[in-house]
């Protein structure tokens, strides 16, 4: 019996020791864990604890400004406010609803729904004027927050709209330069932090803390606001006179690709980008809140679809997309007779022709089963190479194209960039539409030679012509010039692809001389200005399908002809009445040059041509 008691006692002692050891181990682990949390991780958990009792509201950063080359502001920011409510802090819902209904242009149902919603924060309105924000703030009703905000502002409204583009309610770039340089222009948001209790109520003894936003960097462009105005006036003048669908103008430095002006009329109001132009009613998306309301409109689309009105909404969006579209970048066209500059360049480079050659034009040329006529149906007769260009003679250029051959033409189409996007710093650039080389037969070769049966973008073709006249160097058309740091003020110049020689200087010289004769004595004479040496080429291209009587009239001019520092292209889409490029497009470039040549410091010469 005693032995049994001894055994039990011994067993209990071992068990107690075991439990004691386990308790000690557990205590050591717990103490170690507490030490780890309270010492090594004290800062981390302290921040997490603070976060549980902090409420953060974001502050938008001012977007970087956009300037023209002379320091004129093209895009700026206007100070506005955003109004929100924090449900847990509201003491009198009806008073809050009544106040917001009084000052905000929102439906009572929408305001009530957001005020009564149990959430951490509900945004009631953005882009509220400072005056209205101050009145709401002065009421000092608990639960309402009025924070600073910024809305993009464009001082010149419609000017350069297709090039500049616009932003949405979140200040993010949507179109044009605003989206191309969005990463440059976008700043770093700030925040306002308030300390709250477990219920989310702000504690009065703790002041709000603020982290200031960092503004975005500024963009300086190559655009000259004065040249942009001259070009815009000229575009609208001819568009009105000829009742044209649109008129595009591009003014550029052919030596380095800097764009001075870009017009695609009709332009739209950048401060009201969702309001249709030339339309009796505003679009469903037309609001002060920009893209935020566009999001609302998307919800409405779903409702409209249910009610059978989806086609109306889609039609409205199609109109907006067409209004925003930059034809110079995103659309293609047949260049017509201006392409004869490229054909002749290729022929001179390959040695297929020279200035001593002559060509005979009976008024047409028969190619396989096709009778392809000249613009002068009675024919030009015998003419020199220079005269063929001055007369813009189709049969002569069919002969030139035939002598050059498909391989020769396509080689220089490639070298001059007509098979590739030119890389302009704008979104949505399209590419050319060309025949595959193996599919180019005699008829295709003939029509390509005088500018039909292929399509290019206006900016792409302008870039190719610049290489023809600038000494033979490739260029990259661009609008961005430099970026200014918002904090340091330091500037950094934007880089683009380096120039390279694509045709010989001698060919470029010959082309400039012959194109000067086109303006002095040929089809481009309506661009001539006394005392200035100007070169250029006209075009009148019929739109597809043929036979509908719809044309694009165009002219590309440059000055001074011996050393071009400025070139301008004008495209007139579907003019009424007279539609020849030499008659209606060349005078538009002349009007522009009359204003900008003296402005650019280009002096007249004493001798004429």
What pLDDT, in 10s, does the model give residues 137-171? 999 898 898 988 889 999 999 999 999 999 987 88
Of 489 and 420, more confident: 420
pLDDT band at 290 (very low <50, low <70, confident <90, very high): very low
At 7 the pLDDT is 58
**Please, are residues 344 and 450 in contact by the beta-carbon 8 Å criterion?**
no
At 171 the pLDDT is 84
Of 253 and 316, more confident: 253
Of 378 and 46, more confident: 378
pLDDT > 70 in the chain, percent: 86
> 141 phi and psi, to 5 degrees?
-85, 130
**Please, are residues 338 and 556 in contact by the beta-carbon 8 Å criterion?**
yes
At 69 the pLDDT is 97
State the average pLDDT over residues 347-374. Answer: 95
> 429 phi and psi, to 5 degrees?
-70, 130
At 484 the pLDDT is 95
What pLDDT, in 10s, does the model give residues 38-61? 766 666 656 555 554 566 677 788
At 609 the pLDDT is 36
> 492 phi and psi, to 5 degrees?
-130, 130
Residue identified by tokens 């199609």 is 318
The region that residue 228 occupies, defined by phi over 0 for left and psi between -120 and 50 for alpha, beta otherwise, is: alpha
What pLDDT, in 10s, does the model give residues 68-100? 999 999 999 998 988 999 888 888 989 999 999
Q: CB atoms < 10 A from the CB of 358, how many? A: 11
At 192 the pLDDT is 75
Is 337 part of the annotated catalytic residue set? yes
pLDDT band at 287 (very low <50, low <70, confident <90, very high): very low
Cis peptide before 346 (omega within 30 of 0): no
Cα end-to-end span (Å), the chain = 138
Give 187-242 as a 3 state SS string: CECEEEEEEECCCCCECCCCCCEEECCECCCEEEECCCHHHHHHHHHHHHHHHHHH
Which structure tokens are listed for 23?
């308790």
At 279 the pLDDT is 52
pLDDT band at 546 (very low <50, low <70, confident <90, very high): confident
Which structure tokens are listed for 196?
């709250």
**Please, are residues 248 and 571 in contact by the beta-carbon 8 Å criterion?**
yes
Which structure tokens are listed for 377?
């149906």
The pTM for the full model equals: 0.84
pLDDT band at 37 (very low <50, low <70, confident <90, very high): low
**Please, are residues 150 and 60 in contact by the beta-carbon 8 Å criterion?**
yes
State the average pLDDT over residues 193-209. Answer: 63
* pLDDT surpasses 50 at 398: yes
Nearest to 400 by CA among 342, 454, 441, 456: 342
Q: CB atoms < 10 A from the CB of 239, how many? A: 19
**Please, are residues 536 and 557 in contact by the beta-carbon 8 Å criterion?**
yes
What pLDDT, in 10s, does the model give residues 99-117? 999 999 888 899 899 989 8
> Helix and strand tally (H, E) in the chain?
19, 19
pLDDT band at 2 (very low <50, low <70, confident <90, very high): low
The helix/strand/coil state of 488 is coil
Distance, in Å, from the CA atom of 536 to the CA atom of 553, rounded to the nearest integer, reads 14
Spell out the alpha helix ranges (H) of 273-339.
Answer: 291-306, 310-324, 327-330
Of 147 and 509, more confident: 509
What pLDDT, in 10s, does the model give residues 294-343? 444 444 544 555 455 666 666 888 899 999 999 999 999 999 999 999 99
Candidate list 180, 337, 392, 554, residue with the active-site label = 337
Per DSSP, 288 falls in state: T
Distance, in Å, from the CA atom of 432 to the CA atom of 333, rounded to the nearest integer, reads 9
* pLDDT surpasses 60 at 283: no
At 135 the pLDDT is 93
Distance, in Å, from the CA atom of 380 to the CA atom of 287, rounded to the nearest integer, reads 59
Sequence-distant (≥ 6) Cβ neighbours of residue 17 within 8 angstroms: none
* pLDDT surpasses 60 at 462: yes
At 57 the pLDDT is 72
324-327 contact pairs (CB < 8 A, 24+): 324/162, 324/175, 324/268, 324/273, 325/162, 325/428, 326/162, 326/163, 326/176, 326/262, 326/264, 326/426, 326/428, 327/162, 327/246, 327/248, 327/264, 327/458, 327/571, 327/573
DSSP strand pairing (66-67 vs 218-221)? parallel
pLDDT band at 547 (very low <50, low <70, confident <90, very high): confident
pLDDT band at 10 (very low <50, low <70, confident <90, very high): low
At 223 the pLDDT is 98
* HSE-up (13 A, CA, CB side) for residue 442: 9
State the average pLDDT over residues 196-209. Answer: 61
DSSP secondary structure of 383-422: EEHHHHHHHT-HHHHHHHHHHHHHHHHHHHHHHTTTTS--
How does the average pLDDT of the chain come out, rounded?
88
> 324 phi and psi, to 5 degrees?
-80, -20
Least confident of 32-36, 359-363, 524-528, 541-545: 32-36
Distance, in Å, from the CA atom of 351 to the CA atom of 469, rounded to the nearest integer, reads 18
* pLDDT surpasses 50 at 439: yes
pLDDT > 90 in the chain, percent: 67
Residue identified by tokens 């969006």 is 317
* pLDDT surpasses 60 at 385: yes
Distance, in Å, from the CA atom of 395 to the CA atom of 372, rounded to the nearest integer, reads 8
DSSP secondary structure of 2-61: HHHHHHHHHHHHHHHHHHHHHHHHHHHHHHHHHHIIIIITHHHHHHHHHHHTEEEEEEPP
At 120 the pLDDT is 74
Give the DSSP H/E element, type plus range, for residue 360: strand 358-361
Of 202 and 489, more confident: 489
Distance, in Å, from the CA atom of 498 to the CA atom of 504, rounded to the nearest integer, reads 17
Name the class of domain 336-599: alpha beta
Residue identified by tokens 């010289």 is 509
Distance, in Å, from the CA atom of 221 to the CA atom of 217, rounded to the nearest integer, reads 13
State the average pLDDT over residues 527-536. Answer: 97
CA quadruple 277, 279, 285, 287: dihedral sign: positive
Per CATH, domain 55-156+194-220 is 3.90.1310.10: yes
């Amino acid at each position: 019996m005693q032995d049994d008691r001894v055994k039990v006692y011994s067993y209990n002692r071992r068990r107690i020791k075991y439990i004691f050891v386990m308790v000690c181990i557990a205590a050591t682990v717990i103490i170690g864990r507490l030490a780890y949390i309270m010492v090594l991780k004290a800062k981390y958990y302290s921040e997490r604890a603070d976060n549980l009792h902090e409420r953060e509201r974001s502050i938008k950063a001012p977007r970087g400004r956009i300037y023209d080359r002379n320091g004129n502001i093209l895009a700026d920011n206007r100070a506005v406010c955003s109004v929100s409510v924090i449900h847990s802090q509201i003491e009198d819902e009806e008073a809050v609803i009544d106040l917001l209904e009084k000052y905000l242009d929102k439906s009572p149902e929408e305001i009530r729904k957001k005020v009564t919603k149990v959430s951490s924060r509900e945004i009631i309105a953005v882009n509220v004027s400072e005056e209205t924000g101050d009145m709401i703030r002065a009421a000092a009703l608990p639960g309402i927050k009025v924070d600073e905000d910024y809305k993009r502002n464009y001082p010149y409204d419609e000017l350069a709209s297709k090039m500049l583009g616009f932003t949405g309610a979140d200040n993010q770039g949507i179109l044009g330069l605003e989206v191309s340089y969005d990463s440059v222009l976008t700043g770093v948001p700030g925040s306002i932090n308030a300390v709250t209790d477990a219920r989310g109520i702000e504690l009065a003894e703790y002041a709000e803390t603020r982290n200031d936003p960092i503004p975005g960097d500024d963009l300086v462009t190559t655009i000259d606001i004065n040249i942009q105005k001259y070009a815009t006036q000229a575009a609208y003048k001819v568009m009105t006179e000829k009742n044209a669908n649109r008129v595009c103008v591009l003014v550029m430095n052919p030596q380095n690709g800097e764009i001075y002006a870009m017009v695609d009329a009709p332009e739209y109001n950048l401060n009201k980008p969702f309001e249709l132009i030339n339309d009796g009613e505003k679009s469903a998306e037309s609001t002060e809140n920009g893209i935020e309301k566009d999001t609302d409109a998307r919800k409405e689309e779903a409702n409209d679809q249910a009610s059978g009105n989806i086609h109306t909404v889609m039609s409205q969006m199609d109109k907006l997309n067409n209004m925003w579209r930059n034809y110079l970048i995103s659309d293609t066209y047949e260049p017509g007779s201006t392409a004869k500059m490229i054909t002749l360049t290729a022929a001179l480079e390959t040695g297929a022709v020279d200035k001593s050659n002559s060509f005979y034009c009976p008024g047409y040329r028969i190619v396989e089963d096709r009778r392809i006529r000249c613009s002068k149906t009675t024919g030009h007769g015998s003419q020199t190479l220079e005269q063929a260009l001055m007369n813009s003679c189709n049969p002569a250029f069919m002969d030139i194209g035939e002598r050059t051959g498909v391989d020769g033409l396509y080689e220089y189409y490639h070298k001059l960039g007509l098979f590739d996007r030119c890389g302009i710093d704008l979104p949505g650039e399209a590419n050319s539409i060309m025949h595959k080389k193996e599919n180019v037969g005699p008829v295709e070769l003939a029509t390509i030679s005088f500018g039909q049966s292929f399509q290019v973008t206006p900016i792409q073709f302008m870039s190719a012509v610049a290489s023809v006249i600038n000494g033979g160097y490739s260029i990259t058309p661009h609008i961005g010039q430099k970026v200014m740091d918002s904090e340091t003020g330091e500037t950094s110049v934007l880089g683009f692809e380096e120039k390279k020689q694509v045709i010989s200087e001698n060919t470029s010289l010959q082309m400039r001389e012959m194109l000067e004769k086109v303006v002095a004595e040929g089809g481009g004479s309506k661009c001539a200005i006394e005392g200035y040496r100007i070169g250029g080429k006209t075009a009148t291209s019929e739109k597809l399908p043929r036979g509908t009587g719809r044309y694009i009239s165009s002219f590309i001019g440059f000055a001074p002809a011996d050393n071009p520092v400025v070139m301008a292209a004008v495209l007139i889409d579907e003019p009424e009445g007279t539609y020849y490029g030499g008659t209606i497009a060349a005078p538009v470039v002349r009007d522009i040059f009359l204003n900008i040549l003296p402005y650019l410091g280009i002096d007249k010469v004493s001798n004429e041509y």
